Amino acid sequence: MVRFWLLSGTLENWKHSLREDEHLWATRDSRVLRPVVHQVSTGDRLVFYATSPVSGIIGFGGVLSGRFTGTSPHWPDEKKAGEVLYPHRFKLWVIHVLDEKEWISRALRLDEAGLRAPIFRSLNSIGEDLFNTMVKACEQKWGLEMASKIKEWKLFRPVPPPPEGEHDKIMSMIFEIGRLKGLVVEKEYPIDNFRIDVAWKRVAKGNPHAAFEVQIGGNFFEALTKLKHAWDIWRSVPILVTTDEYADKARQIVEGSFHEIRQQLRIIDPKDIGELHDAWKKIDEIETRTTLSQV
C-alpha cells in the first residue's frame, strides 16, 4: 500500500539532502517517531516542506528504500554535534523541487491553498486526498504539470546498479570523444540543483550544445529530468546512454511526462559509444604518427 508523507526540515538540512548525490531523510529515535518511520516503504510519495524562514512546500518526491540505521553523522547539525542525531534514515529521490533561490519566494504556504495540517519535525503522515490537493495547489502556483509525473514515477523505480566502475568508464569515453572532436568537455557539469554527467561545448564560455546522461542502472526519472532541463534552458541536445534493456522504458516515459523532448532525445547504446571511442582513438593515433594532426 502506498503511503503519503510530508517531510519537514530546516532550510540547511534540505539544502544538504538535495545537494548530495544520494538523497537521504531521517528522524530522531523517539517513542513517537520510531513506530512511524518503520511504516515508510519503497514507493511511498513525499511532500518536501521547509520550515522558517521558508515555511512552505518546495517539492515532491518518492521513497527509494525502507528505514535503515545511520551509524555516522550526516546532517550539518549532526556533524557540528559530532554524533548521530537522526539514526532512522531512508533514501528518497526528487520528482520536482524548486530552485534553491526560489524557496522563499515561491514555496507554497498551506494557508494560501486554504489548507490546515499540523506539521511536526521530520516526518508527518498525510492522507492521499491532502497530498493530491497539495500537488494541485503547487501546480497552479508554479505553472507546472506534476500529477502525471508523480503517477508515472512507479515506472522508474531504480534498476540494479551497474558493475562497479562501468558508469565512470562510459563517461570517460564520452569525454574523450568530445576532446578528440576538438570540443570543450566537462564532466559533472552543474545545472541548478543537478549535475549533467558529461557536457560538450563549442566554446569555453558558451553553454553546452550537447548533454549526456549515462543510465545503465539507478534513477532514470532523474536522468530524464536533467536532460529536459538542459534542453529547456540551453537547448542542449539531450542524449541518454543506456542499454536495450532499459531503452524501451525510457521511450515510454518520454511519450508521457517528457514529451517536450521526444523529438530531440537521442538514445545511444554503450556499445556504440565504445566503438565510436575506439574509432576516434585510432584516427588520433594515425594522425599523430603521420604528423597530419599538425597540418
Pairing of strands 56-63, 88-97: antiparallel
Q: What's the CA gap between 216 and 63, in Å, rounded?
A: 20
Q: Is 272 helix (H, G, I), strand (E, B) or coil?
A: helix
Provide mean pLDDT across the span 264-283: 93
Question: pLDDT tens digit string along 56-93?
Answer: 999 999 998 888 888 889 888 889 999 999 999 998 98
Spell out the domains of the chain, with CATH numbers in brackets: 4-155 (3.10.590.10), 166-290 (3.40.1350)
Other beta carbons within 10 Å of 222: 19
Question: pLDDT tens digit string along 198-227?
Answer: 999 999 999 999 999 998 766 677 788 899
Q: What's the CA gap between 63 and 81, in Å, rounded?
A: 27
Provide mean pLDDT across the span 185-207: 92
Query: In this model, does residue 118 exceed pLDDT 70?
Result: yes
Query: In this model, does residue 152 exceed pLDDT 80?
Result: no
Provide mean pLDDT across the span 127-155: 87
Percent of the chain with pLDDT over 70: 92
SS (H, E, C) 177-221: HHHHCCCEEEEEEEECCEEEEEEEECCCCCCCCEEEEECCCECHH
pLDDT at 128: 94
**Three cell numbers, residue 256:** 508521457
Query: In this model, does residue 293 exceed pLDDT 70?
Result: no
Q: What is the pTM of this model?
A: 0.58
Residues 6 or more apart in contact with residue 122 via CB below 8 angstroms? 7, 8, 9, 25, 26, 27, 28, 33, 86
Query: In this model, does residue 158 exceed pLDDT 60?
Result: no
Q: Work out whether the CA dihedral 108, 111, 115, 121 comes out positive or negative.
A: positive
φ, ψ for residue 108, nearest 5 deg = -85, 115
pLDDT at 165: 78
Provide mean pLDDT across the span 262-291: 91
Provide mean pLDDT across the span 170-175: 95
Pairing of strands 194-201, 45-50: unpaired
pLDDT at 93: 81
More confident residue, 161 or 27: 27
